[in-house]
Amino acid sequence: EVQLVESGGGLVQVGGSLRLSCVASGFRFDDYSIAWFRQAPGKEREGVSCISSPDGGQYYEDSVKGRVTISSDSAKNTVYLQMNSLKPEDTAVYFCAAVFGSMVAVTSCAAFPYDYWGQGTQVTVNS
């Protein structure tokens, strides 16, 4: 059974940090690139960051650039999203998604046809 399980969300004050985890199972981890998305109440889902496999290329959306770092640990089948200097506008449900193959010429993490999605983890930033 294919699964993507997110964790690490929670309630944090403005300026705080969180590290989200996305644990993958049921497919060959190194064959898939992983992205993080988020969806705030009343808004459309948007890409946050993505990491290409196997080359490790990273892409960040402008809204989080400089505050977020994506990383991958293939030994643990896990992709992390380290988020710093959190703002109230970062409040959302964060999802990870997997797409087969590497990511080339990325202009947006949302531009790929993702094969698998997780259920999400809530991040709330209090002002």
pLDDT digits (tens, 9 = 90+) for 81-98: 999 999 999 999 999 999
Query: pLDDT tens digits for the chain (127 residues)?
Result: 999 999 999 999 999 999 999 999 999 999 999 999 999 999 999 999 999 999 999 999 999 999 999 999 999 999 999 999 999 999 999 999 999 999 988 889 999 999 999 999 999 999 8
Residue carrying structure tokens 């064959």: 31
